[in-house]
């Protein structure tokens, strides 16, 4: 829905939707219909974050994740967790990183960030375990030749 559509649909009792709100409604609708690509999701998330609309970004990530068939959901979950972390919502970020890791258990960056959030919430042993696993995954991906 563009701004013209919003004006046509408005009545004297209903305020005209702002361009930002109309864009948000259109993008969320695309996500709900599994018509939003991962790059488009990330571009919208970055734009809306820069505009100071983190709650809209969180809603977009949730909607996209709930409706997508993308094999790259773990990437969106990582970004979602990063946003939650930046908002000081560590417990929610932990759940999102854990979900990303159920989809891609060798996702080192998500495991490192999970450790950071575990540390931030006083879960030192869990954080150390997450970081050890990240180091083990990294070592397995980059074996050294000792011959």
**pLDDT, mean of residues 39-52:** 96
121-127: average pLDDT: 97
CB neighbours of 43 closer than 8 A, spacing ≥ 6?
Answer: none
- Whole-number Å distance between alpha carbons of 25 and 115: 35
For residue 131, pLDDT beyond 50: yes
- What DSSP state is assigned to residue 35? -
* Every domain range in the chain assigned CATH 1.25.40.10: 88-147
Give 4's pLDDT tier (boundaries 50, 70, 90). Answer: very low
Model confidence over 53-106: pLDDT tens digits?
999 999 999 999 999 999 999 999 999 999 999 999 999 999 999 999 999 999
- Number of residues that this document lists for the chain: 147
Helix (H), strand (E) at residue 24: helix 19-32
CATH assignment, 88-147: 1.25.40.10
- pLDDT value of position 9: 54
Looking at residue 18, what is its pLDDT? 86
pLDDT class of 147 with cuts at 50, 70, 90: very low
- First-to-last CA distance in the chain? 63
- Mean of per-residue pLDDT scores for the chain: 90
* pLDDT score, position 142: 83
- Asked if 112 contacts 131 with a C-beta cutoff of 8 angstroms, the reply is yes
Task: Examine the pLDDT at 122 and tell me if it is beyond 60.
Answer: yes
pTM: 0.83
């Amino acid at each position: 829905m563009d701004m013209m559509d919003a004006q046509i649909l408005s009545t004297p009792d209903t305020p005209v939707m702002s361009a930002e709100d109309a864009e948000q409604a259109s993008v969320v609708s695309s996500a709900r219909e599994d018509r939003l690509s991962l790059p488009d999701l990330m571009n919208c998330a970055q734009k809306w974050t820069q505009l100071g609309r983190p709650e809209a970004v969180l809603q977009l990530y949730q909607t996209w994740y709930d409706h997508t068939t993308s094999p790259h959901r773990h990437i969106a979950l990582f970004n979602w967790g990063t946003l939650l972390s930046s908002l000081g919502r560590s417990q929610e970020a932990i759940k999102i990183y854990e979900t990303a890791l159920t989809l891609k258990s060798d996702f080192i960056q998500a495991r490192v960030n999970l450790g950071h959030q575990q540390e931030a919430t006083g879960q030192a042993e869990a954080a150390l375990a997450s970081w050890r696993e990240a180091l083990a995954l990294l070592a397995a991906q980059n074996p050294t030749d000792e011959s």
